Each structure stands twice: as C-alpha cells, then as structure tokens.
Amino acid sequence: MTFNSSKPDSQHLARQAGQAVFWNYTSFGLGKAMVFLTTTILARLLTPADFGVMAFAVLAVNYLSILKDLGLGAALIQRRQNVEEAADTVFTLNLLLGSTLTLLGIGVAPFIAAYFNEPLVTPILRLLSFSFVLNALSDTHIVRLQRELNFRRKLIPDIGYSIIKGVVSIGFALAGFGVWALVIGQLVSAVATVILAWSVFPWRPWLTVRRDLAKTMLSFGLSMTGIQALTNLIDNLDYLIVGRFFGNTALGIYTLAYRLPELLVLNMLWVMAKVIFPTYAAVQDQPDTLRQGFLTVVRFVGMFTVPICLGLMLAAEPLVQVIFGEKWLAAIPVVRVLALFALVSSIAFNVGDIYKAVGRTDILIKLGLVKLVLLVPALWYGAHFGLVGVAVGHVVVATVIMGLRLWVATWFVQVKIEDILRQLMPAFWGGLALTLLVLPTLYLTSAVLPVVRLLLVSMMGGLAYLAVLWLLEGKLLLKAGRLMGLPGLASKSSAPSLALRSARDVEVS
C-alpha cells in the first residue's frame, strides 16, 4: 500500500485515503467511546483532587514527550526511499531517546512536585516516566502502519490500548487505589500496546543507525520537533496556569471539562490529520490536488464538528449531570466555553498538514510562535476570573489564529476566503436548525430527569441537523460512503467517485 510513483493516481490514492479515514474513525470512535465510558465511571469512583494530581504528573510527561522521537516518525512517513533502513534507524534512535527520557523524568520529578506544592507528584511521575521506553518499542511499528494508510490493522493496538487501560484503571479504582489506579492503567496499557503492535505488524527491526539517513531525517524531524514543542507548550499551558493558580481540585474540574470537547472534537481532528498528512505527502508535487483536497477537508470537518460543538454548548448541564455526576457541576460553564473554543479551532485546523507535506514546517513554527505570544497573557489574565476566564482566553486567541491561518492559506494553497466559507455553509445551516430546535426542547424539559432531558435534546438536535445536511449534501455523503467502502454503498461503477479533486464537485453541488 505504499506510494512508489512520484505522481500516484489521484483516484486510487483517494480510495486509499477514504478507506483509511473509515478505519481510522472506526478506531477513533471505538477507542474514544471506551475512554468516555472509563472517564464516566472513574469520575464517580475518584475525586477531583485525584484527577488533579494525575494531571500534574501527566503535564510533566507531556512536556518531556516533546523530545520523544525528534520528529523521526513524521520524517519516516514523508520518506520515499530506503524505507526499511530508515525504519531501523528510527526504531533504534527512538529506543535511545525513550530510555533517556525515562531517566530524565525520574530526575526532575521532585522539582515538578515542588512547583505544584504536591509531594505525591514525585512517585507518580517517576513511575509514569517508564512509559517513554515502553512507547518507544511500539512507536515505529504504528508509524509504519500509518505511513501505509493501513489503519485497519492499526485499529487493533489502538482499541486494545483503550480497553486495557479502562479495565485496569476501573478495577484498581474499585479496589481503593485512588489516583494510583490511573497510573497503573497507563503503564499496563503501554505494555499491551507493544505486544499488539508487534503482532499486527510483524516487522523485526535491527538495532542499527545509518548516519546518512539519520542526518537527512533529523533535518526534517527537528523542524517537526519544534512544531511539537510549541504544540505541547500551547496545549498544556492552561493546565500549568490553572494548577498553579487554583490547585489540584480546580485542575481536576478543568481537566474533566476539557475532556469532553477534547474527546469528541479535538481528538477527532488529530485522527483525521494522521490520514491527511500521509495522503498529502504522497501528492506533495501536485498543488492543484492539494488545494482541492484542502477544500474537501474543510467541508467535511465542518459537517462533523459543528453539531458536536453546538450540542456541547447547549446541553452542557444535563450532559455533565448524567456523565460525571453532581460533584462536577462546577464544570458546566467551562464545558460551554471550551466547546466554542473547539469549534473555532476546528475550522482551519488541518491546513497545517499541507505545510508539513511539502516540507514548509517553518510556516507552522511561525504560526505557533504567534499563538504562544498571544496565549500566555490571555490565559494569565483570564485566570483572574476563574476557570471560565481561562477558557475565554482560549476562545479569543483561537479566533485570532483561525483568521491568520485562513489568511495564510489564501496565498499558500491558492484559495479565496469565499471558497472556504462556501465549504462551511452546509454545516452552518444544519447548526442553525439544530439550535432552533434544541433551545425550546431544553426549556420545555427543564423539570424532567437529566438523563431523559439529555436523550430528548440529543434526539431532536440530531434529527434537525441530519435532516438539513441530507437535504443539502445527500449525494456527497453517498459518494463519501462509497469511497470509504461502506457496506451497501460500494459498487464497481462508482467506487472511486470522490477523489481528492472532488472539491470542485463540492463547489457546484
């Protein structure tokens, strides 16, 4: 399934990409459903303070993971020659980096604990640091599956990780282990991922480093590391500020509030990026295809994110009551604002995959620096108004960055703002119908049980949105289904009917 030709057939590539999207979203849906279920159960077994202490340690792990592979995984995906030798080199370097980060995490644990004034962070972080060396044993196998768009097999370690982590964490939480249940679940699932990844992709690496390949890939990968460093710093800056300002209980509330838009929207965008990046990389020398593919992605991202984000904003109260319980009610206003943040962030999210595919990672670095410069004062100032103020700071900066990203896309991808807005119109009309039906439903059901209220709101909003979307985009959705190979939709005559070039069809549909 690798792309060997310099100009692969766009219809064949689109079919591969479509099927990859289907399997990747199947993996995503099942995995995140398990995470969602696990979080719901653990929220009732553990306290906000438990989640907050774990968040302190995870925050340190996230920052250390900036150096996890020095961008070598992305370099391997982009690489077209000497793939086997390059994979051996990446595996060996990853193992060295993972071992180094494990030792580094053990060493810095007391300092992280001192920053947050929480002694328990030291033993938790030291144990979690072993995940670096464990992940290094499976990362290259998973990257190779991603490179070949073989997301059908990649589903097994992805789902296995979520299931095992959930079962182990819940089991130890029921046994009264408190925050340690989360730690143990994390490590056991990392071991399971290694076993599953090696099983579904039986590649046996050689512990060797080819200096010429390492040098070439590091030149690309280090720029990716710079992007990852900025991304991690930006993504975790709010946790850093909330933990410092308000302590572990408030951080636990904020963490679970962020978990809903993260699971349902932001993670979905990252999953899509895992397919979009290698697909764009395969046609990196075809600017027209990149442009058309970008518009298609904008359209489909809008179709999926708009109803979810609006649903979170409108139904936050019954959703938190049903999923997390009464002790998490303080998270409701935070969920509403963060849902708006996720919606704004989604609009121009995947434009960065084009820059990575053509080797212009410098654009992402520059945009990331601008975002960081804006985000630090916005979150710091917002913290003076509580958790909601921090979330509002996110929304303000995300709005500015969205406009900047789209402006850059207009000259780099050769599109017009009106072209992008045209792709978003079906989602806009569907979202309007959803809002007009959900608001009166919420008002009329204010006295009923939260679970009944949530079911009614979800049903009415979903029906309204799907009805409008089917009316406006029915033919396009059928084409997408055929492309992904969905049962009952695929046919010999129409198999590859939605290629990357389909944005042109979208514009006139």
Contact 502, 494 (CB under 8 A): no
- pLDDT on residue 18: 57
Contact 272, 305 (CB under 8 A): no
**Residue 418 is which amino acid?**
E
Q: Is residue 227 part of a domain?
A: yes
Quick check: helix, strand or coil at residue 62? helix
Mean pLDDT of 59-81: 79
Instruction: Please determine, for residue 487, whether its predicted confidence score (pLDDT) is greater than 60.
Output: no
Instruction: Please determine, for residue 411, whether its predicted confidence score (pLDDT) is greater than 80.
Output: no
Backbone torsion region of residue 5, taken as left when φ is above 0, otherwise alpha when ψ lies between -120 and 50, otherwise beta: beta
Contact 122, 69 (CB under 8 A): no
Give the model's confidence band at 77: pLDDT under 50 very low, under 70 low, under 90 confident, else very high.
confident
Instruction: Please determine, for residue 8, whether its predicted confidence score (pLDDT) is greater than 80.
Output: no
CA angle, corner 357, sides to 32 and 405, nearest 5?
Answer: 75
Q: What are the respective helix, strand and coil percentages of the chain, to the nearest 5?
A: 85, 0, 15
Q: How far apart are CA 43 and CA 328, in angstroms?
A: 8
Q: How far apart are CA 395 and CA 373, in angstroms?
A: 15
For residue 144, give both structure tokens. 């190779």
Residue whose tokens read 């064949």: 12
pLDDT of 447-475, one tens digit each?
A: 899 999 999 999 999 999 989 888 887 77
For residue 348, give both structure tokens. 């121009």
Q: Is residue 150 part of a domain?
A: yes
- pLDDT on residue 264: 83
- pLDDT on residue 283: 63
- Residue 300: how many CA atoms within 13 Å on its side-chain side? 24
- pLDDT on residue 1: 37
Quick check: helix, strand or coil at residue 118? coil
Q: Is pLDDT larger for residue 176 or for residue 354?
A: 176
Q: Is residue 370 part of a domain?
A: no
User: E strands along 153-215, which residues?
Assistant: none
Q: How far apart are CA 179 and CA 181, in angstroms?
A: 5
Which of 296, 284, 275, 292 minimizes the C-alpha distance to 360?
A: 284
User: E strands along 182-332, which residues?
Assistant: none
Instruction: Please determine, for residue 2, whether its predicted confidence score (pLDDT) is greater than 70.
Output: no
Which one of 1-5, 27-31, 262-266, 409-413 scores highest in mean pLDDT? 262-266
Give the model's confidence band at 41: pLDDT under 50 very low, under 70 low, under 90 confident, else very high.
very high
- pLDDT on residue 375: 93
- pLDDT on residue 27: 66
Contact 64, 111 (CB under 8 A): no
Contact 283, 13 (CB under 8 A): yes
- pLDDT on residue 15: 59
Give the model's confidence band at 152: pLDDT under 50 very low, under 70 low, under 90 confident, else very high.
confident
Could you report how far apart the first and last alpha carbons of the chain are, in Å? 32
How many domains is the chain partitioned into structurally? 1
- pLDDT on residue 478: 67
Q: Residue 294: CB partners within 8 Å, gap ≥ 6?
A: 350, 351, 354, 409, 413, 415, 503
Give the domain range for residue 121: 46-246
Instruction: Please determine, for residue 498, whether its predicted confidence score (pLDDT) is greater than 80.
Output: no
For residue 135, give both structure tokens. 């992940």
Residue whose tokens read 């774990």: 54
Which one of 285-289, 302-306, 374-378 scores highest in mean pLDDT? 374-378
Q: Is pLDDT larger for residue 469 or for residue 68?
A: 469
Instruction: Please determine, for residue 399, whether its predicted confidence score (pLDDT) is greater than 70.
Output: yes
Q: Is residue 256 part of a domain?
A: no
- pLDDT on residue 377: 95
Residue whose tokens read 């600017």: 287
For residue 152, give both structure tokens. 């059908």
The H-or-E segment that residue 177 falls in is none
**Residue 206 is which amino acid?**
W
Quick check: helix, strand or coil at residue 149? coil
Contact 72, 96 (CB under 8 A): no
Residue 29: other Cβ atoms inside 10 A: 13
**Residue 64 is which amino acid?**
L
Mean pLDDT of 415-427: 85
Give the model's confidence band at 497: pLDDT under 50 very low, under 70 low, under 90 confident, else very high.
very low
**Residue 350 is which amino acid?**
N
Return the minimum-mean-pLDDT range out of 21-25, 98-102, 257-261, 307-311: 21-25
Q: Is pLDDT larger for residue 21 or for residue 417?
A: 417
- Residue 361: how many CA atoms within 13 Å on its side-chain side? 22
The H-or-E segment that residue 350 falls in is none
Which of 352, 405, 398 minimizes the C-alpha distance to 375?
A: 398
Dihedrals phi, psi of 117, to nearest 5 degrees: 55, 45
For residue 67, give both structure tokens. 């150096």
Mean pLDDT of 23-32: 68
Q: How far apart are CA 122 and CA 111, in angstroms?
A: 8
Q: How far apart are CA 234 and CA 392, in angstroms?
A: 15
- What size, in residues, is the chain? 509
Q: Is residue 76 part of a domain?
A: yes
CA angle, corner 382, sides to 380 and 383, nearest 5?
Answer: 65
**Residue 60 is which amino acid?**
A
Return the minimum-mean-pLDDT range out of 67-81, 184-198, 377-391, 399-413: 67-81
Quick check: helix, strand or coil at residue 47? coil
Q: Residue 418: CB partners within 8 Å, gap ≥ 6?
A: none
For residue 262, give both structure tokens. 């993260």
Instruction: Please determine, for residue 11, whether its predicted confidence score (pLDDT) is greater than 60.
Output: no
Average pLDDT, the chain: 82
Contact 141, 203 (CB under 8 A): yes
Q: Is residue 467 part of a domain?
A: no
Residue whose tokens read 């703002």: 417
Instruction: Please determine, for residue 80, whether its predicted confidence score (pLDDT) is greater than 90.
Output: no
Q: Is residue 21 part of a domain?
A: no
Quick check: helix, strand or coil at residue 68? coil
Residue 241: other Cβ atoms inside 10 A: 20
Q: Is residue 465 part of a domain?
A: no
- pLDDT on residue 320: 93
- pLDDT on residue 13: 54
- pLDDT on residue 298: 82
pLDDT of 334-384, one tens digit each?
A: 999 999 999 998 887 777 777 776 667 677 778 888 888 999 999 999 999
